[in-house]
Chain A
Amino acid sequence: MATRQKSIFQAKDPDFHDNLPRRHRAAKGWQVVLQASTVIGIIVLVALLLNIIDGAFGYVATQNSIEPEDLVMGVQEELMLTAPNTVASEDDNELAEGIASSPYAIGYFGYAYYLDRVDELRPLTVDGVAPTAETVDSGAYGLARPLFLYSTAEIMQEKPEVAAYLNFYLDRVNQEIEGVGYFALGDEALNAAMLTWLNATGIETVDAETVSWPVLDPQSVSGNVKTAGSSTVYPLSARMAELFQAAGYPGEVEIESIGSTAGFRRFCIAEDTDIVNASRPIKRAEVDLCNEADREPVEFRVGTDALAVVVSQENDFLTEVTTEQLRQIFTTAETWSDVDPGWPDEPIERFIPGADSGTLDFFTESVFDQDLADLPKETLVATLQDNVSKGLFRRFESEMPFEDRSKEDVYGLVVERVVEPEIVQTWPLFESVFGRSEVLAEAAAEYPDAEVSFVSWLNPKFIVNPQSANPERAGVRTAILGSLWTILITILFAFPLGVGAAIYLEEYAVDNRINRLIQTNINNLAGVPSIIYGMLGLAVFVRMLEVLTSGKLFGLVDPTTANGRTILSAGLTLGLLILPLIIINSQEAIKSVPNSLRQAGMGLGATRWQTIWHHVLPNAMPGVLTGTILAVSRAIGETAPLVVVGASTFITVDPTNPFSKFTTLPIQIYQWTSRPQDEFRNIAAAAILVLLVLLLTLNATAVLLRNRFSKRRMG
């Protein structure tokens, strides 16, 4: 029987080979555990970052307390109403009589109204176009706006009452429109509208020439019709609805006067109306919005709102004006010759509709088509004065006289204080991206007047603005400066002290009981909770050393900081906090410098200090700096000790010296996250990103410096 040859690799354990698979499985298992924990760590980090980013960007609904266009309109109307020689009246007859009585008078009102006074009044051509049925109908006449109804083919087919209402509307509108004060459609435009109706209802497809208009019986339908939109169209639609019901329609026609824009939103986003009343054509973006909701709008032109600028029949010099001249004539010009030297040197007598009249608004809108930003500075200042409290206005004046301010500055104040855009709701990033239509629908339903826009809460303004109670104006400048100042003090205090202590302990200290005690203490201090350091800082730096930390010792007497709750106290406290870390890390770095280097130095007759300074320290420096970077990073992110030491939670004044009051980024973030309003959480997220970037920047700079340093050392 052959004995089995024993390999030298054969283990003594007879079960060795049997156990091998189990051992391998165990090793594999540990590897999986380690990999899993790494992956979990990464997932947690990513989730954290995503969570922050989620808050820092997203949709907001902004509601202006007054729309800039309205503000501009108000300003212009005010200008017109307060111009000299101006009669403003809601009574068109008064205006007409006034204009007719003087050859130097001028005024405007609805064109339909002029038609009643053809004998006494004469309409002017505006920008070379005379108001006639054709020019108004085609849109060539500037002081006119088309009136529309919008619906969709689906709605008209699913709800016969809507189709019947539109049928009745188109059938009768030209008979009624002048009674309401608007301009009737030309035959062609009306036919086009009727053709659209025929195509949309699918009753029959015919060409415009041979259209046979079916008149539907209002009694044959039931159910309610919901419409919303322009206030200009409102009187016309109201009249038509009244007649529709009079003709036997058993349901209700609901007409909401909310403006064309809001009308389109209700129709396309909230989708709770059947028809939009609009005094302007639908915009491209609104069509997109509707299509997204599967509503393909069809358009019915129903009439035109036009104004006539009229003078007396006795007027012998004026037949045409430009828009520019109209602006002057109705606001700043005093005599006719002011506008055009060829015209008589007589005062202008103005007759305009009163402040409550929609006609005044329409005229202003058409003639003074200006943005708020285009207004002259004086007007903006006046606007500001009219709309903010006297106290606030005086404060602005005392901060910097309005004479010295730039127009942009004043404009900014007007936007901030008068237009006062206020965020009424915010949505986080992922909801904004993946649930865009839901967000838009929600905004349209709850805040029809609000403007929905995508914002980055982290923006340049956020970084340069000081703290504010208003989250839209709040920024982190004060906090960033506070953090930088504090960390500067921390480094100046802790780095030399920590490295010095490490050198002493490693290179000089004898191994005796006291030094061992010190070493043990330092190791323990590195694990003490940071709030304990805060209490130490409060007791020592804020209370005991108040004379020093408040700056009294240096003759600085600032009543607001005299209690020692200053940057200096905070920096020293954080310095104490990271001192053990720096010492321990530096000790390790110094320990790792090979002894042969010390011997080489000493063997050449160098003193211990020369050897340390020229050889040990430079070689330990990369390690020392790495430890310091880690420690300082921790200090930047600290909150608790600073709260105890007395960081201000609300401060708008930048720190200027070590004796300033202060706040830091983490404190600011902590304070914002504890506020109830949503927007504060958004800016807290943005501030966290700022803190992250600040940390990364400081660390990257330090690491770069360190690498350069060690490269140079290796020569």
Chain B
Amino acid sequence: MTDMSNRPRNGKYAIEARDLSVYYGDFRAVKTVNLRIEPRKITAIIGPSGCGKSTMLRAFNRMNELVPTAWAEGEVLFQGHNIYGDDVDAVQVRRHIGMVFQKPNPFPKTIYENVAWGARINGYKNSMDELVEKSLRQAALWDEVKDKLDQSGYSLSGGQQQRLCIARTIAVRPEIILMDETASDLEPVATLKIEDLMRQLAENYTIIVVTHNMQQAARVSDRTAFFMMDEDRAGYLVEYGPTKEIFTNPHNQRTEDYITGRFG
């Protein structure tokens, strides 16, 4: 296991997939993807259902491995290390690359504990109260919950719960935050709030977001990666570039078809 915490950020890229293929047993879900994610930017992954967007996202912090049959081929470089290397512990990877899920999933604990738990098990030693407040502020939730920190995380509304999940991820101080359709299951106002929050967070964090909502991708992201699946149902990267370019002037015909709503 290699300690990755005190290394300087390497090169231009926050994280980079090289010839990455992800399998579930014999089935190849994502094939030979090369993707370079720029730091402190929001990168959106879009594409039709089943094209391997989520699998690709989870490959970035080895969450795929929670499915017992999943395995990967190729490399994902993070701070100069292949996170799939033999000497790398998946738990270490996830400490640096956090994840927020589609459905809000707070722990059945108090709001305070929800935020504090991740930091505590990761050995955080400084003032926990400060960390909780700071994380909740960064997640734009502090004003709404500061008087009820000892209430259950479930007492919040869906949008608040999702922001609580973001706060809890921030509290572990990751370099990269993966968001798996994080703003999809919410009502429009809550969705907008989360999008605003993502923009703010992008000042400090690298964010990779999977979304099936193209307006959202266009609104919120700096760069966009478009995925499709081939005849073997394996997802592959079709086109990757600045969001503006992808949405206004795509190089690839399939991208254009998808963007303009001809299929998908």
A interface list, Cβ under 8 A from B: 510-511, 594, 596-607, 610, 614-615, 619, 713-715
Contact = CB atoms under 8 A, between A and B. Distances in A.
A596 B108 contact: no
Nearest to A713: B108
A594 B107 CA distance: 11
B150 interface: yes
B122 A615 contact: no
A338 B99 CA distance: 105
Contacts, number: 75
Contact of B105 (A599, A605, A607): A599
B107 A603 contact: no
Nearest to B104: A596
B258 interface: no
B63 to A, nearest CB: 6
Contact of B94 (A598, A603, A713): A603
B160 interface: no
A615 B114 CA distance: 11
5 contacts: A594-B105, A597-B105, A604-B98, A604-B168, A714-B108
A619 B108 contact: yes
B133 interface: no
A715 B117 contact: no
Interface string B103-120: 101111110010001100
Contacts of A603: 61, 63, 94, 98-101, 169
A715 B172 contact: no
B92 to A, nearest CB: 7
A421 B172 CA distance: 79
B234 interface: no
B189 interface: no
Nearest to A511: B68
Contact of B66 (A598, A604, A614): A598
A610 B117 CA distance: 10
Contacts of A600: 101, 105-107, 165, 168
Given A598-B66, A614-B121, A714-B152, A605 B95 contact: yes
A602 B165 contact: no
B91 A605 contact: yes
Contacts of A596: 101, 103, 105
- B interface residue count range (under 10 / 10 to 19 / 20 to 34 / 35 or more): 20 to 34
Nearest to B118: A604
A238 to B, nearest CB: 93
A371 B107 CA distance: 73
Given A599-B105, A715-B150, A606 B118 contact: yes
B121 A606 contact: yes
A599 B151 CA distance: 22
Contacts of A615: 107
B110 A715 contact: yes
Interface centre among B101, B103, B108, B152 (most CB of A within 10 A): B108
Given A598-B66, A604-B121, 16 more contacts: A599-B63, A599-B101, A599-B105, A600-B101, A603-B169, A604-B122, A604-B168, A605-B91, A605-B95, A605-B122, A610-B121, A614-B117, A614-B121, A713-B108, A715-B109, A715-B110
B103 A604 contact: no
Interface in B133-170: 150-152, 154, 165, 168-169
A605 B107 contact: no
A605 B151 CA distance: 24
Most chain-A Cβ atoms within 10 A of its Cβ — which of B98, B109, B168?
B109
A605 B117 contact: no
Given A597-B107, A599-B101, A599-B105, A715 B113 contact: yes
Nearest to A710: B108
Contacts of A619: 108
A73 B243 CA distance: 116
A606 B91 contact: yes
Contacts of A614: 117, 121
A151 B99 CA distance: 102
A46 B86 CA distance: 67
Highest count of chain A CB atoms <10 Å: which of B94, B106, B165, B168: B94
Q: In this complex, which of A510, A594, A597, A715 has the most chain B Cβ atoms within 10 angstroms of its Cβ?
A: A715
Contacts of A607: 91
Nearest to A613: B121
Interface string B66-102: 1010000000000000000000000110111011110
A600 B180 CA distance: 12
A715 B106 CA distance: 13
A610 to B, nearest CB: 5
Contacts of B100: 603
A32 B193 CA distance: 56
Contacts of B107: 597, 600-601, 615
A707 to B, nearest CB: 15
A715 B121 CA distance: 20
B79 to A, nearest CB: 15
Nearest to A598: B66
Contacts of B95: 604-605
Contacts of B117: 604, 614
Contacts of B91: 602, 605-607
A594 B108 CA distance: 11
Most chain A beta-carbon contacts within 10 A, residue among B68, B105, B110, B150:
B105
Closest 8 CB pairs of A and B: A605-B95, A604-B118, A596-B105, A603-B99, A605-B94, A715-B110, A600-B105, A610-B121
A605 B97 CA distance: 8
A615 B63 CA distance: 18
A115 to B, nearest CB: 100
Nearest to A596: B105
B62 to A, nearest CB: 9
A596 to B, nearest CB: 4
A241 B109 CA distance: 97
Contacts of A715: 108-110, 113, 150-152
B21 to A, nearest CB: 22
A605 B63 contact: no
A371 B91 CA distance: 84
B208 to A, nearest CB: 14
A330 B165 CA distance: 99
Nearest to A510: B68
A602 B109 CA distance: 16
A713 B154 CA distance: 12
A715 B112 CA distance: 11
A596 B165 CA distance: 12
Nearest to A600: B105
A605 B92 contact: yes
A607 B122 CA distance: 10
Nearest to A607: B91
A598 B67 CA distance: 12
A600 B171 CA distance: 13
Contacts of B103: 596
B169 A604 contact: yes
A323 B106 CA distance: 90
A598 B65 CA distance: 12
B239 to A, nearest CB: 29
B100 to A, nearest CB: 8
Contacts of B106: 600
Given A510-B68, A597-B107, A602 B63 contact: yes
Best-buried of A596, A599, A602, A604 by chain B (most CB within 10 Å): A604
A651 B105 CA distance: 58
A510 to B, nearest CB: 6
B158 to A, nearest CB: 14
Contacts of A511: 68
A715 B151 CA distance: 7
A671 B105 CA distance: 57
A500 to B, nearest CB: 20
Contacts of A610: 121
A610 B168 CA distance: 16
Nearest to A618: B108
Contacts of B105: 594, 596-597, 599-600
A713 B103 CA distance: 21
